Amino acid sequence: MKRAIFFISAIIIISSFSSQLLALPKGAVARLGKGTVNAVTFSPDGTMLAVASSYGVYLYDANTLEEIDLFETNASMYSVAFNFDGSLLASGGYDGSIILWDMKPYIQKPTTYPCDVNSDGVVNILDLVIVGKSFGKDVNNAKADVNKDGIVDVLDLNIVGQHLGEVYK
């Protein structure tokens, strides 16, 4: 009986100790990372998180917090940095190497282009005309409300105007 009580007590002590270790600090939303984490950085658009660790470089989806990929390396990585548009990631290792990773396959392209009001793949005068004709109306044409503020007005026209000539094909 004493042995059973000791065993149960040990389990309670161990489980409360491990739950303290796993508890997130106040204000934290997640705990990520494997191996020894040496550096972290967000991609310029904020969609990815790169982690330099003893296993290599981990990529996480910054929104879902799911692991996207692991770039395994021979040496432990201690630094990571994206270039200005997030198309390249540089990692520095303890072996003195700097590895450049192609991030283009991981960059999420938008599925919609609000300035292409008529969805023909080009922002041109036709999109401006649609927005202009929808002025003052009760957002019957929701696509003409480019900035999604509930009214179609000069602000929407201005946004489309700034994107004139863009091609999404």
Binding site for Ca ion (CB under 5 A): 116, 118, 120, 122, 127, 145, 147, 149, 156
**CA angle (82 as vertex; 80, 87 as ends), nearest 5:** 135
Instruction: Tell me how far, at minimum, the Cβ of 85 lies from Ca ion, in Å.
Output: 25
Instruction: Tell me how far, at minimum, the Cβ of 84 lies from Ca ion, in Å.
Output: 28
User: Cβ closer to Ca ion: 49 or 127?
Assistant: 127
User: Cβ closer to Ca ion: 98 or 142?
Assistant: 142
| Measured torsion, CA atoms of residues 10, 11, 12, 16, in degrees rounded to the nearest 10 | 110
Instruction: Tell me how far, at minimum, the Cβ of 107 lies from Ca ion, in Å.
Output: 23
CA–CA distance, 151 with 135 (Å, rounded to integer): 8
User: Cβ closer to Ca ion: 147 or 162?
Assistant: 147
Nearest Cα residue to 44 out of 78, 87, 79 = 87
